[in-house]
Structure 1
């Protein structure tokens, strides 16, 4: 592991980027050198709250995806394994994105040699609908007047089109049911160290991106973009490194507090009894990749013709799979029509599995969880 500060040598990219345009410049290098078939990134749709995954094959189009979007979706692992399996792809990943990719690599659904993962430090994401309501209520501005937003120093900060900024403490927003998504509040993986590089503004100087280089492939990315003349780098000072680690520590402490408060407040049986067996949580899950051949589709799970299986049977089967596989991306919560905190229940089991085995899905270096390891022991 090593650290660099980096910024784009391209003025347009530097100005459009969130903190110096380093990530966009690395993508440009990969496309221009023919090292990837395309870049999977996020671009704004109808507005800045509408983050849309887009596959970019021409480096001239990268500028439209520059910047950060805290209302971004979390299904990039799904997209790669379903539609880009045979492509060489570079992709931006939040920690939960990287965890899902890591687990899909273990399941042979993504080819590790085909992808470059550009990690983004993440303090959390906000639901697009929640984001707009929150800005109307707590910032007293028209959500359409917001030019950009960021999470920094414990605040959710918006910048208006006239250049002014407004910030509200994340804690205050979340106490009122706004702010970050529930899974983001309890997430304790803030830097995606399984990615080739992890980038962000924690510890960086104005106009520069702080990059943690996590493996040989990541070093090749930085060296290649620098040698191509599109990236400038320098070593960060010790206080910058310490500052970055301090921010990460604060975010983890916030997550720990949320876990201690919210975990005891959910009764699994009461929650599952509301399930209508719609399969939305299964279908959106990046780890449940075998939907077409899912055992839950078999006749012996249905009570009568054209009916769904008993909700407890459905959730019981998923729970047996997800207790060691859940990456806490929260997508199941997003799509559940009955507002069941599915990811919270899975994450509770994941924590118990960690206590017994030390394994964390998408984080641990083990090729497979202990349950499937040739070296497994009685737990």
Structure 2
């Protein structure tokens, strides 16, 4: 039985007790998937599962499960990084764990559409995408293009240590072997070698390009206060709507600070950005600080308390009195 078929059977058995299950279905063309809201067995026929299923469906959970008198129970198809987002939301008491059912599977990485489209130049009108081992075959009316999967895999997958869904209620297929990966992403490691002046100049240029569309915020599973976001609040009025380098910098700095110790490195912010701004450089940098100071990695231990949601008089790794 294939992973997809096993997953469908698991969802079919659980569906009578759930209001809906979130998965993925075919989008507007062969390269794009979109979220699928499964409410009936008939909807299951549209469920797909492949490396093009890039969206983190955990983003929907706070909106579906919060509110007075809300007793919905929702299922969610999750890969490793998606399950981390669910765990982090539960740890922060933003959603109730007993009303979420996770259908997990093992993930060998997802596709970067930017890399795929760059590698498939000249192949127009792609009608189908086939994943065959370590190869991806794109078929168009007049041609076929074969690409190594490693070359079009999303950058976030290069240092992912959680290929299998964590704390899943159901698990489809075999578990993926967790390989050893560098603690620090190669891109971040290279960036941090640059002089401070060059790094600042780099970010000034990136913030100059930002159009403040808020796609990075809207797609982030941990950004749960969109109706009261500091970027759009008028009372207090912290930021203007001006899309200037200074205002954009201020928004992104606030954004990354609000995600410190919470970001699960799902990469949704960077994937959604229409200007291809490398936002994960900021997130990975702050996550590294949290790992170093508190030995904590967000969304990996359902029983842990996030370090910024608790207080200790003395932190083992912070020697304030010795300065």
CA displacement at 1:300 relative to structure 2: 3.8
Query: 1: distance between equivalents of 2:306 and 2:49?
Result: 33
User: What does 1:1-379 correspond to in 2, within 5 Å?
Assistant: 7=1, 18-19=2-3, 21-31=5-15, 34-65=16-47, 67-83=48-64, 85=66, 86=70, 87-128=72-113, 130-135=115-120, 143-146=126-129, 148-149=130-131, 152=133, 155-158=134-137, 168-171=147-150, 173=151, 179-199=152-172, 209-210=173-174, 244-245=176-177, 248-249=178-179, 252-253=180-181, 256=182, 259-260=185-186, 262-265=188-191, 269-273=200-204, 274-275=206-207, 276=210, 278=212, 279-296=214-231, 297-298=233-234, 299-302=236-239, 306-307=241-242, 310-375=247-312, 377-378=314-315, 379=318
Q: Is the 8 A contact 2:216 2:269 kept in 1?
A: yes
Higher helix share: 1
Query: 1: distance between equivalents of 2:274 and 2:124?
Result: 30
Deviation per CA, 1:325-376, whole angstroms, max 9, x where unpaired? 1111112112334432112221122022112211111113344311222446
CA displacement at 1:324 relative to structure 2: 0.8
Q: Is the 8 A contact 1:263 1:344 kept in 2?
A: no
C-alpha change, 1:169 and 1:149, in structure 2 (3 Å) is closer
C-alpha change, 1:47 and 1:82, in structure 2 (3 Å) is same
Match of 1:238 in 2: none
Structure 1: 5+ residue stretches without partners = 1-6, 8-17, 174-178, 200-208, 212-243
Q: Is the 8 A contact 1:323 1:350 kept in 2?
A: yes
CA displacement at 1:28 relative to structure 2: 0.7
CA displacement at 1:167 relative to structure 2: 5.9
Secondary structure of the corresponding residue to residue 21 of structure 2: strand
Query: 2: distance between equivalents of 1:160 and 1:316?
Result: 42
Secondary structure of the corresponding residue to residue 364 of structure 1: coil
Q: Is the 8 A contact 1:272 1:311 kept in 2?
A: no
Secondary structure of the corresponding residue to residue 22 of structure 2: strand
Q: Is the 8 A contact 2:85 2:222 kept in 1?
A: yes
Secondary structure of the corresponding residue to residue 301 of structure 1: coil
Number of corresponding residues: 296
Secondary structure of the corresponding residue to residue 270 of structure 2: helix
User: What is the root-mean-square deviation in Å for CA atoms of aligned residues?
Assistant: 3.0
Match of 1:225 in 2: none
TM (norm. structure 1) is 0.68
C-alpha change, 1:320 and 1:376, in structure 2 (3 Å) is farther
CA displacement at 1:26 relative to structure 2: 0.4
C-alpha change, 1:198 and 1:357, in structure 2 (3 Å) is farther
Query: 2: distance between equivalents of 1:192 and 1:73?
Result: 15
Q: Is the 8 A contact 1:281 1:333 kept in 2?
A: yes
